[in-house]
Chain A
Amino acid sequence: MGKSTIFNSLTGMHQHTGNWPGKTVANATGKATINSKDFLFVDIPGTYSLMSNSEEEEIARDYICFGNPDATVVVVDSTCLERNLNLLFQIMEMTENVILCVNLLDEAKKKKIKIDIKKLSEDLGIPVVGTTAKKKRTLENLKQTIYKVCIGEITPKPNKVIYEKIIEDGIEDVKTALDEVVKLEGKEHYKNDFLRWVAIKLIDGENKILNSIKKNTKLQIDYPKITRKVEEVRKKLQDQGITEKNFKDKIVSNILYKSEEICKKVCIFENENYTYRDRKIDKILTSKVFGIPIMIIFLAVIFWLTIVGSNYPSNLLFSFFGWIQDKLIELAIFIKLPEWISNMLIFGVYQTLTWVISVMLPPMAIFFPLFTFLEDLGYLPRIAFNTDKFFKKACCTGKQMITMCMGFGCNACGVTGCRIIDSPRERLIAILTNNFIPCNGRFPFLISVATIFIAGAYGGGSSILATLSVITIILIGIFLTLIISKILSKTILKGMPSSFVLELPPYRKPQIGKILVRSIFDRTLFILMRAIKIAAPAGLIIWLLANIGINGETLLNIIANFFDPFAKIMGLDGYILTAFVLGIPANEIVLPIILMCYLKSNMLIDMEDTFAIGEILRQNGWTIITAINVMIFTVLHFPCSTTLLTIKKETGSLKWTIWSFIIPTACGIVICILTNFIYHICIV
């Protein structure tokens, strides 16, 4: 843990870090120069082990084994050294040039854990460096050690785990056979350690690893001589009660016992109750009475800060871009650009583009740092812990709740966040249902409509009613997430039962500076760039539709009229539905498009005054039922284009992207038709 932080400090890169394992999914690389020698660092996924064959572990294992690194730095959390040594021993089994980096020494100090680094290094037979990410000096030490190992000044001699005699004999037998084959083939460049590791894997018979060995090396492990030897050894082991099933357990247990033994020697727990503070906090945050309310309060505060806080910067951006727009118009006149071209570029492309930036940037720039703060603190796994039961009933995992919380900020981010879910089936469910959670872009619209029609209907001052209606809509979204997840896992995504084994990491003091940089660069700007790419062409299309006409009627009108009969069944009208379709680049522009249509304007319209908006909407036939249906459809419709692109990227499949489009849209249409129907029956 803390691996990505170390990687970033070494290379100056901004790999996103979070307080849970398994953040890095693909290998990231970065360069650094130590003593005027260039080094290439590869950040491989963090795992607990290299034996359970999850996607990250495979990537990590393949890189260590076959990527020919000059050295492998294993970063472990000093506050739970024992558990992490497990991984170290597994890596030392595959490769020799290992450096152990005992990170978060400051946290250990706080918990009064003392680690004898020198003794640890002696016992392990490899260089060990203690680091504190905040202290530059400790990192310099790590750099120098890496340098020395790479140029051969230090040669690590790992003390491997020695297994029971019978197993060791078996390993030796298979290794001898391997040695002979290697010699025969004249490929003597395989290291002893590597061959020993291959021998263990051969006895174990793990096909995935063996296939990987076949694919990445020229080692002939299918050679009859070897296969025969392996069979022989397995038989011998079986006679001693070591079956195929418990062979691996023996290996893992031995490694763990060894870790335990070493830890006892090098760690001193001056305060036996070192987890006391964490437990005390946990007792409150996961308590029966307060656990869930506290979670809701945390999230509510974040949303509130986001919505209130982004108003002012949004307006500032609007006026700034508006000012540039005026200058652009002047410029167009000055260079005598034909009016239709300048209108198309300025009122079409430029205006939509800047609109999307102005409305998207501030809320994300506020939401993500706050969310990353909770993440860094270590609170998110507790959310999963608190809510797992509900998700278990829906045949998925509590981790889905974390991705849903991210979805409140931005569904595209929520979809990316689904990487934390191990099981491919559960990950897909989480991706497909993420859009049921209204993101930042849909919130203000929901609030406006609720304020105008629901609070407004019952006289002024009933903002509580508006708030309640927004909360109801969100709860419907969450409820549907669970229902749809359940339906998916019973139909098109049948398969392995859900599982939930999750580490709740120690609480950590968040590093504010890093949070700001990371959340803004990795999340906010990343998403914004994707949105911009789509907003520009979409702006052009919207402008063309509003300005090109057949027989005096704009294309926009024609489309709206086409949708109208269907939209009426849903309790909406043609313009609203058209606005949702055209609003696909960003949900924020749905309301401006609606206003543009109603006012027969040929460009997007921004209005500050909710009262004035209300008047326009009422004049165009909106009633309370229109408002309710609009709110429902806002939560339940196709994901925005950025999210769709992200889903395509994450699943790598067009099929699932289409499903993610159809599922929420179908729900929205059905529910809107139902509410409309029920409302009209009740009224009549």
Chain B
Amino acid sequence: MTLNQLKLENEGKILNIGCSENIKRRLLDLGLVKNTNIIPVLISPSGDPKAFEVRGTLIAIREEDTKKIEIKI
């Protein structure tokens, strides 16, 4: 499944990041690599973007990008 399908407060594990090169780079910098745990915790008032808890930090990512991040539960 992909990250955008993960329900709030549920934990997933990152399998693959298929975003465009510069966003992928940025996500890697922020600590999103294979096998990293990720939990969606906030939704912006208009539904997009969402914020995820990763390695003790909170990171906002747009839906168009979370669609391209594969995870497993």
Contacts and interface: CB of A to CB of B under 8 A. Distances in A.
Interface of A: 47-49, 51-53, 79-80, 82-83, 86, 249, 252-253, 256-257, 259-260, 275, 278-279, 282-283, 286-289, 291-292, 381, 384-390, 392, 398, 496-497, 499-506
Contacts of B22: 52, 496, 499
A253 B25 CA distance: 11
A282 to B, nearest CB: 6
Interface of B: 20, 22-23, 25-31, 33-34, 36, 41-49, 51, 53, 55-62, 65
B45 A286 contact: yes
B46 A390 contact: yes
Determine chain A's interface SS by DSSP, over half rule: helix
A392 B48 contact: yes
Contacts, number: 127
A122 B65 CA distance: 39
Which 10 pairs between the two chains have the least Cβ-Cβ distance?
A49-B29, A291-B45, A389-B46, A253-B33, A52-B25, A504-B58, A48-B29, A502-B60, A252-B28, A80-B57
Contacts of A502: 59-60
Among the interface residues A279, A289, A497, A499, which one has the most CB atoms of the partner chain B within 10 A?
A: A499
29 contacts: A49-B29, A51-B25, A51-B28, A51-B29, A52-B22, A82-B31, A83-B31, A253-B34, A257-B33, A282-B51, A283-B42, A286-B43, A385-B44, A388-B48, A388-B49, A390-B46, A496-B22, A499-B22, A500-B49, A500-B60, A501-B23, A501-B26, A501-B27, A501-B30, A501-B59, A503-B58, A503-B60, A504-B59, A505-B58
A82 B30 CA distance: 10
A177 B43 CA distance: 52
A249 B57 contact: no
A79 B25 contact: no
A536 to B, nearest CB: 46
Contacts of B42: 279, 282-283, 286, 385, 504
A379 to B, nearest CB: 13
Given A49-B29, A82-B31, A256-B33, A386 B62 contact: no
Contacts of A256: 28, 31, 33, 36
Given A279-B41, A288-B45, A291-B45, A52 B26 contact: yes
Nearest to B21: A245
B53 A275 contact: yes
B62 A500 contact: yes
Contacts of A282: 41-42, 51, 58
A544 B55 CA distance: 65
A287 B8 CA distance: 13
Contact of B30 (A83, A291, A497): A83
A286 B20 CA distance: 27
Contact of A275 (B29, B46, B56): B56
Given A388-B62, A499-B22, A80 B55 contact: yes
A48 B23 contact: no
A259 B23 CA distance: 22
Contacts of A86: 29, 31
Contacts of B57: 80, 83, 503, 505
Nearest to B25: A52
A392 to B, nearest CB: 7
A492 B26 CA distance: 27
A499 B45 contact: no
Contacts of B65: 499, 501
